[in-house]
Amino acid sequence: MSAASPAQWPPGYRGTLADRISAALRAEFRVEVYVPEPDDPVLGGGRCAVARCDGWCRARGLCEYHHGRWRRAGRPDLGAFLAAAWPRPAWAAPRRAECFDLRGLPAGLRLELAYALQCRADEHRSGLPPEAVHQVVRLLLAHRAQSLLERSAAEWRAALATLGPPPARSARAFVGYAHQLVDDLDRGADAESEYAGDRWDLRRIGLAVNRGPYRISFEGIAQPWLRAVAKRWARFRLATKVPSTVKNDVKALARFAAFLHEHRPGATDESSITRAVLEAYLPWLAATGLSGATRVDDLVNLRTFLEHCRRHGWLAALPSGATLYQEDFPARVEPLPRFLSEPVMAQLESPANLARLPPDLRHLVVLLIETGLRVGDATALPFDAVVTDSVGWPCLRFLNSKVAIHQLLPLSAKAAEAVAAQQAHVRRRWPDGPPLLFPGRNGNPDGTRPRSVSAVSRDLGRWQADIDARDEAGQPLRATPHQFRHTFGTRLINFGVPQHVVQHLLGHVSPEMTATYAHLHDTTVRDAFERWCASRVNVTGELLPFDPGAPTADAEWIKHRLARIADSLPNGYCGRPPQQACPHPNACLTCPDFQTTAEFLPVHRQQLAATRILIATAEANGQFRLVENHRRVEANLERIVPALEALGEQEAPDAG
């Protein structure tokens, strides 16, 4: 497609726009039929991975034909599939699926679509099916359009639905994307013009958004004066906060604006925001049905907004009493960690089940299990994320995005192997080494885009269905990647790792965040205590009763924990509180407070044999008082040993 002067464009087409597009368009895109080069990312980048197949890759390194066969085969291991696959037969080659045919369009429209294709290639976007472009071409021909700017993007997307058959999602996305590019070029759009609008696209502002939301809308704020200062605050926050945080800020202001519109319609400036108005907002927000955590976040964001406005003078007439206090906030109910039980983890950590994952996802899952990283932090790891400590042990260097600090985490041998295997895996596609350890699979020719969190969650769900993972109740398991983090923290606490160490490993800002795992540890140990109480005997061999629901159960649990700290007996436990003096020093086997379990059975047998020897020796020496004492110990041991042996026989079938 050759460039032309503005005089050659159809009536109504602005020549200055044509000049801008012609100047921006590279030579390889100035053709009526555009066939991408082998390394062009528009089609996903490169040829099909199947040997001797000349198709263009669409997903997983496969062309459309082989990707369909791989899906119909049940998504087997890609290595095994490639080894057994054969080239695409001639009859299966689509006629127009590997080029973008723009013939028949007016010259201006050809330029506009070619410019959009070039921008997709420059931005390394995901592969674009040519058929989606062909649907847009048919739409424009049907409406005899001369330019995309004749209608809005929403009108073009609505018109696509009238063509039939139903348009592809990629066709709707492409026509909107192309319209936005041409409109920006026509208006000379820059960051300032984007900030002036009510819908911000952060990519047009110049922010690199690799994950999370990239659009922020202020259309929900009806009051012009509040919308203007909300934009100013959002622009200020974007300098230090991630886009998702700023989007939540704007949502909180939109809810407050809805309250003002409903109950204070006459509010024309900030002087209307009094303490009384804020007090009326609290029950209104509670009646919305939002969760307590969401309402707390909304009130925190609103309080921060008011503080910043007062500090920077953005709302000069804001009353001094317009503030929110801590008692205004609803109680935040912190949920217990959503850890996965060990039987469930045994399924997910099974080598046979892990082998059914694609290599990159398998390495990521192992890393999440072994380190407790947030999935977003893991997918953003640099390629060379491993460093060694003073003794050569591997450590993982990563950015804790939630608190914006860099951390070092010691790696287990299994995690270190997973990282090394992932590095070797990605080097096969990017021999020079990509900048990321877990780059996205599709539309990512230089490996600069991380794998999306949503894709990881989706693929993990498919894998669990594929291996038929089940929870304790026998129901299909739907574990999320973040539950590996909860499980990691719970395991550390249950292994006896101090809470402050767990806090550092998980990157928690406050000990309260880690306290939920410690609470869970107490629950786990309490369950073990109740099972222990059901199998203990006293000094006479009698089974001691215990009711977990009794009013005294909590007190006995506390006494047990204190006793374990204060006293350590070689053959059992003392049932007395440690604050009290012992009236039977060194005479536990004659003490009514003595308790023991089957784990000490070998000690009791050995002690019974030794006691009988002591009795025989004392009788030979005429020490009859000593014989009497030893007889009492012997009598108690003769009751304890059979009782513990009977308990052991009862537990043996259960253990099997």
Rounded to 10 degrees, the C-alpha dihedral 448/454/456/457 comes to 170
Tokens for 477, please give them.
């398991």
- The pLDDT score that the predictor gives to residue 307 is 94
Q: Positive or negative CA dihedral for 195, 199, 203, 209?
A: positive
- The pLDDT score that the predictor gives to residue 6 is 38
Residues belonging to the chain:
656
How do the residues of the chain divide into helix, strand and coil, expressed in percent and rounded to 5?
Answer: 55, 5, 40
Residue with tokens 């054969």: 86
- The pLDDT score that the predictor gives to residue 595 is 74
- The pLDDT score that the predictor gives to residue 497 is 72
Q: Which neighbouring-strand residues pair with 399?
A: 406
Q: How far apart are CA 239 and CA 422, in angstroms?
A: 34
R_g over Cα of the chain: 35
- The pLDDT score that the predictor gives to residue 366 is 95
Rounded to 10 degrees, the C-alpha dihedral 30/36/41/46 comes to -160
Rounded to 10 degrees, the C-alpha dihedral 234/237/238/244 comes to -80
Rounded to 10 degrees, the C-alpha dihedral 60/66/72/78 comes to -40
- Segments in the chain below pLDDT 70: 1-15, 28, 30-31, 33-47, 54-60, 90-98, 124-127, 164-167, 189, 208-212, 332-337, 391, 442-443, 445, 496, 512-513, 516-532, 534-541, 546, 550-590, 592-594, 649-656
- The pLDDT score that the predictor gives to residue 598 is 78
Q: How far apart are CA 166 and CA 35, in angstroms?
A: 26
End-to-end CA distance of the chain: 77
> Under a CB-based contact definition with an 8 Å cutoff, are residues 93 and 56 in contact?
no
- The pLDDT score that the predictor gives to residue 77 is 81
Nearest to 644, CA basis, from 544, 575, 560, 529 = 544
Residue 250 identity: V
- The pLDDT score that the predictor gives to residue 580 is 43
Q: Is residue 252 helix, strand or coil?
A: helix
Nearest to 454, CA basis, from 375, 388, 394 = 375
Q: How far apart are CA 490 and CA 276, in angstroms?
A: 45
Q: How far apart are CA 295 and CA 514, in angstroms?
A: 23
Tokens for 586, please give them.
């060194």
Rounded to 10 degrees, the C-alpha dihedral 639/644/649/655 comes to 170
DSSP state of 50: S
- The pLDDT score that the predictor gives to residue 367 is 94
Show the domains of the chain with their CATH numbers: 6-187 (no CATH), 193-328 (1.10.150.130), 342-517 (1.10.443.10), 534-656 (no CATH)
- The pLDDT score that the predictor gives to residue 646 is 82
DSSP string, 147-182: -GGGS-HHHHHHHHTTTSSPPPHHHHHHHHHHHHHH
